[in-house]
Amino acid sequence: MSFNYTAIRPLLASLGVIAPMWAGMALYAAPACADTPEAGEALQEIVVTAEKRESTVQKTPISITAISGDQITAEGLSSMREVAAEVPGISMRSSGPGQTEYEMRGLPSSGGSTATVGMYLNDTPLSAPAASLNGKVTIDPDLFDLSRVEVLRGPQGTLYGSSSMGGTIKMVTNQPKLNEFEAATDTTLSGTTGGGFNRGGSGMVNLPLVNDQLAVRLVGTDKYTEGWIDRLVVSPFPIGPGGTCGFGSCTRGNVAAAPVTQSFPRSNWEHLSGGRGSVLYKPTDALSIDLMAMYQGIKMGAPSQVDVPPGPDVLAHYQPFNIAEPYQDVFRLYSLTINYDFGGSQLTSATSHWSRNSSWVGDESEGFQSLLSGFYGFPYLLPASYSNDDFSKQTSEELRLTSTGSGPWQWIIGGFYTDFESIFQQFTGDPAYAPLSYGGAAANPDGIGYQADNPYHIKQYAVFSESSYLFANGLKATAGARWYKYESDLDFEQSGIYSETGNATQYTGQVSSSNSGVNPKVNIAYLPNPDLTIYAQAARGFRPGGVNIPVPVPPCAQQAPLSYSPDSLWNYELGEKGRLFDGRLTVNADYYYTVWHDVQQLLTPTCGFPNTQNAGTAISYGPEIEVAAQLMRDLSLNLNGTYTEAHLKDINASVQGQSIGAATPIEPGLALENVPRYTINAAVNYGIPLSDNYKLNSRLSATRVGPYHDLSYYYESLPAYTITDARVGIVSGHISAYAFVDNLANQHSIVTINTMEWSLPIPSMYRAAITTPRTAGVDIQYKF
């Protein structure tokens, strides 16, 4: 008789959460250990605004992680990707700065045009529902001079709306201080194995202009990261028998052994520059006006991706022709936040406008050779660059009234509106393609391979309310709902041999969609004392439907649907938060179960042109746990982890017989892509006093990411990996100097595959984003 581990795995996962809950309550009931010279001080509690009012992590009855600005500085974290690696329940797809999709609790955003995780900078929503690359990726702002980062797991459909069905990441900046001059700098110098010299600097100054009434805070950043991936042109390029092949049978040869005719070392360099300025005006105790402007520009010489084959240990991209792949991304944000305290309630108006212009060029020579050989019998390998321009902008407004004070009844009511527009332009072509067209159709004299101009416009409206009541026995009940509506329009215009017309004739059309509904939430919490919170919650999440850019027919056997419906979910969770031993130990754990309806799933047909369809129902469940312990005065430990089971449960009739990846049929039980089976993060911090004024601080951390699947032309299984970082430095009152080594073991592990949407998936190879090789350097921080 065999032992069926799979059948009892959900039970074991549940026990993994319930055990810490009961252990926490039992320890809480026991007398606290007496404080001794060896005992540590209480762990710092972080104030958060997850529920759009001030509270602490331990008293907020939802699954939330907060990282303070001081922690970000001490740990040397400079990007949200680095922060996300330390938070349980987050997975990522990334090909570089500004090109990262964040996912939580087993809800991938590979399908659709909208992220499953909302990203906010203060009260400004950054996740835009674009019919383009920028719809699922957000900017990657530098984290210097942030107050904190809050990560809210699970649907936040009541207070944060669409795009927050898996969770919300909220970056909160430091406000200007009205009566205090402040200044700080942070300088980093480092080197990367296989790369070169990296340098970066950030600065902040806080200037009080009118005592108690007016202050300005200015932040600036400039960073240059040398590349570590070579771009190599080889000739003759080893592809197919005799340089030609069919689409499905094309095999890439040994490019690593081919003669190199041109070499461009360290091509994936990055230059980030930007800054923000905030003005705080407080003419009375009741009124405050906060105006902020932000700019960030990123330039890259090439994407941080390597070719497979030959594989992740060969840091190179191989090309038959010299086609550079530059990328640039310019982001501008303006926001105005007004708060007025009525005494008993506070009115907040948060208005923002941002614009983002991204452009990039992709090398598609191999992809087009495979397509042309397979579908047209075109025998030649020709240069094919694929240019993309993405222009987007969004205006948003949120007006809310929030109760204040410490009374048992708390409430919030508000309205929300966004107006988003984007234009997604693409082009590739070569005069040699001129003879090609579908079945002798009209001429294509310029050899347009594919040209598209896709203006997209979506408006969203919402009204929301949430109310809670804390009873005398410590029981707290919270209920809320959000009514939403969206309206979207896409105008598409395309031509070329891979368009609907198959030639230079333009194919135009329009797709419109709309939807409305309600996202409810119910939360029951028990807070018997300030050190223990137990809660249960049920909440609904939602994201808008979208459109597919028409795929060419032929060569594709059938046209994908021009639009797909919204998807939604219900999430159920049970959690606890406990502070033990006079606050020197915290144990926060939860178990969640999610039912996801009409999943927006990316499909890759054999013709190589992906599209999104509503695949069916999926489930995702698992435990999450965070432990922080101040073991001694100068020794602390952090441990967190999650186990995730996420798969399709039922399949819609509309996708029966189709594939996720060219060779993997959609069927019940299929694991959702980009969802690691588990993640574990551990860190030890140890400090040694050197004198009354100096202290030696050290930190050793390791992150283990379990195996998962990702989608290129095929549905690929990617192995687990571990990244270890070390940091040691001397700290005094005003200056800190650290030495650090990231990726100590120099692991070249695949993070995601084929993450660039302009890269057409083909059977013979894919491109993989990998972990940054070992990087060592110094970080010097100074506070005036």
Omega prior to 20 cis, within 30 of 0: no
Q: Which position has the token pair 């919402």?
A: 462
Structure confidence at residue 608 as a pLDDT band (50, 70, 90) = low
How do residues 470-504 score in pLDDT, each as one tens digit? 999 999 999 999 999 999 888 888 888 878 787 88
Residue 554 confidence (pLDDT): 59
Q: How far apart are CA 481 and CA 460, in angstroms?
A: 16
Q: For 766-773, what is the mean pLDDT?
A: 91
How do residues 109-149 score in pLDDT, each as one tens digit? 878 778 889 899 999 998 876 655 555 777 878 889 999 99
Residue 544 confidence (pLDDT): 87
Residue 243 confidence (pLDDT): 60
* Residue 10 pLDDT > 60: no
* Residue 551 pLDDT > 80: no
How do residues 612-647 score in pLDDT, each as one tens digit? 899 999 999 999 999 999 998 889 999 999 999 999
Residue 20 confidence (pLDDT): 43
Q: Which residue has the higher pLDDT, 466 or 456?
A: 466
Contact yes or no for 478/519 (Cβ under 8 A) = no
CA distances to 122, 334, 460, 467, 546 from 395, rounded to whole Å, are: 15, 10, 11, 28, 20
Q: How far apart are CA 651 and CA 660, in angstroms?
A: 12
Residue 258 confidence (pLDDT): 93
Residue 321 confidence (pLDDT): 92
The C-alpha torsion from 204 through 210 and 211 to 213, rounded to 10°, is -90
Residue 240 confidence (pLDDT): 67
Q: For 394-413, what is the mean pLDDT?
A: 94
Lowest mean pLDDT among 218-227, 271-280, 370-379, 400-409: 370-379
Q: Which residue has the higher pLDDT, 780 or 30?
A: 780
Residue 497 confidence (pLDDT): 81
Which phi and psi (to 5°) does residue 471 adopt? -80, 165
| Percent with pLDDT over 90 in the chain | 54
Q: How far apart are CA 238 and CA 744, in angstroms?
A: 35
Q: How far apart are CA 677 and CA 154, in angstroms?
A: 18
Structure token pair of residue 591: 């178990």
Could you tell me which residues come within 8 angstroms of residue 230 by beta carbon, excluding any fewer than 6 positions away? Answer: 263, 264, 265, 266, 267, 315, 316, 317
* Residue 599 pLDDT > 50: yes
Q: What is the mean pLDDT of the chain?
A: 86
* Residue 24 pLDDT > 80: no
From the list 425, 656, 608, 458, the residue with the least C-alpha distance to 546 is: 458
Q: Where are the domains of the chain?
A: 9-783
Residue 3 confidence (pLDDT): 34
Structure token pair of residue 32: 């606290």
Q: For 444-450, what is the mean pLDDT?
A: 84
Residue 37 confidence (pLDDT): 34
How many Cα atoms occupy the beta-carbon half-sphere of 171 within 13 Å? Answer: 24
Residue 129 confidence (pLDDT): 66
Residue 624 confidence (pLDDT): 95
Residue 490 confidence (pLDDT): 83
Residue 18 confidence (pLDDT): 41
Residue 546 confidence (pLDDT): 81
Q: For 568-589, what is the mean pLDDT?
A: 94
Structure confidence at residue 83 as a pLDDT band (50, 70, 90) = confident
* Domain 9-783 CATH (choose: 3.40.50.300, 3.30.450.40, 1.10.10.10, 2.40.170.20): 2.40.170.20
The pTM score is 0.90
- 58 residue type, one letter: Q
* Residue 40 pLDDT > 60: no
Residue 241 confidence (pLDDT): 60
The DSSP secondary structure of 641-695, one letter per residue, reads EEE-EEEEEEE-GGGTT-BSSTT-B--TTPBPTT--SEEEEEEEEEEEE-SSS-E
Structure confidence at residue 36 as a pLDDT band (50, 70, 90) = very low
Q: How far apart are CA 713 and CA 607, in angstroms?
A: 10
DSSP secondary-structure letter at 138? Answer: B
> Taking the CB of residue 605, how many other CB atoms lie within 10 A of it?
18
| Percent with pLDDT over 70 in the chain | 89
How do residues 345-396 score in pLDDT, each as one tens digit? 999 999 999 999 988 898 888 877 777 776 677 766 788 888 888 899 999 9
Q: For 262-273, what is the mean pLDDT?
A: 96
* Residue 403 pLDDT > 90: yes
How do residues 292-346 score in pLDDT, each as one tens digit? 999 999 999 998 999 999 989 999 999 999 999 999 999 999 999 999 999 999 9
